[in-house]
Amino acid sequence: MFAFQGKAFFVDLLLGIMYCDLPTAATATGASVVEYHFIPLPHANPVDLKWDKAKPEDMGALYPDRTMRCVGGAIKLVCIDRTPPRRYGDSELTVWSLDPDLSKKHWQKERGFPVRDIRRLQSFSDPHSLPFTEPKCPVLMRDGTLCLLLPNKRRRIEDSLDDFICNIDLNSMSILWSGRIRGYRYDEPAMLPSDFLQEALSSRSTQEPVVQHLY
């Protein structure tokens, strides 16, 4: 959830974005109807089966491969596609930018590249620097750079090894900084009822008014 240009956005990384005007949401009373609008994710965005589960407990160990935030006056989405038959190292990283005219519901593909291209960056050529593993947990920074977690290869889950993090300038495709991390806390994404967006969409298609309350 985030606020941008006077609107509140509620993000479902499987389905899309639901948003409303902040003044309307702030002044609505218990009997008022808040008008929501929905923008689906890009059609070319792969279906992430890890998110498509009926219950949160069925998801297992989840490493999010998607992230969304406001960067440079635009809403951007980053997706790492690991769908079969892609093999290890063949994942595709794509950056999408949402058209400022939200009524168009249009996502523009800014760039996309195989994650193996990251291996060609200078820091990976140094044997004493970063190891190449499948990146996880993309995080867009305020300046538009991208942070990636590079988990170390463990033989056992309890092995005490450092993981790595790097920050990439997507324009120049260069690593700005990197480092080792250990003992960090990993929090799985907060799960909200998935029927929230689905019910709102189905009610809109049948032209039935619906009042949704968020807390």
| pLDDT, tens only, 178-196 | 888 876 665 555 554 445 5
Residues 6+ apart with CB under 8 A from 183: none
| pLDDT, tens only, 24-46 | 555 655 546 778 899 999 987 76
What one-character-per-residue DSSP string does 153-208 give?
--SSTT----EEEEEEETTTTEEEEEEEE-S---PPPPP--THHHHHHHHHHHTT-
149: pLDDT strictly greater than 80: yes
User: 91: which 2 tokens?
Assistant: 């994942």
169: pLDDT strictly greater than 70: yes
Of the pLDDT bands very low, low, confident and very high (cuts 50, 70, 90), residue 170 is very high
Distance of CA 81 to the CA centre of its chain: 11
3-state secondary structure of 102: helix
The region of weakest confidence among 24-33, 53-62, 150-159 is: 53-62
**Other residues' Cβ atoms within 10 Å of the Cβ of residue 24:** 16
Of the pLDDT bands very low, low, confident and very high (cuts 50, 70, 90), residue 138 is very high
Alpha-carbon gap, residue 65 to 132, rounded angstroms:
17
**Other residues' Cβ atoms within 10 Å of the Cβ of residue 146:** 21
Higher pLDDT, 57 or 8: 8
166: pLDDT strictly greater than 80: yes
Of the pLDDT bands very low, low, confident and very high (cuts 50, 70, 90), residue 148 is very high
Residues 6+ apart with CB under 8 A from 27: none
Of the pLDDT bands very low, low, confident and very high (cuts 50, 70, 90), residue 48 is low
Alpha-carbon gap, residue 19 to 111, rounded angstroms:
25
User: Phi and psi at residue 144, in whole multiples of 5°?
Assistant: 90, -5
Higher pLDDT, 146 or 59: 146
pTM: 0.73
**Other residues' Cβ atoms within 10 Å of the Cβ of residue 192:** 13
Give the percent of the chain with pLDDT over 70.
Answer: 67
Alpha-carbon gap, residue 85 to 7, rounded angstroms:
39
Give the residue-averaged pLDDT of 105-127: 85
Give the residue-averaged pLDDT of 152-174: 80
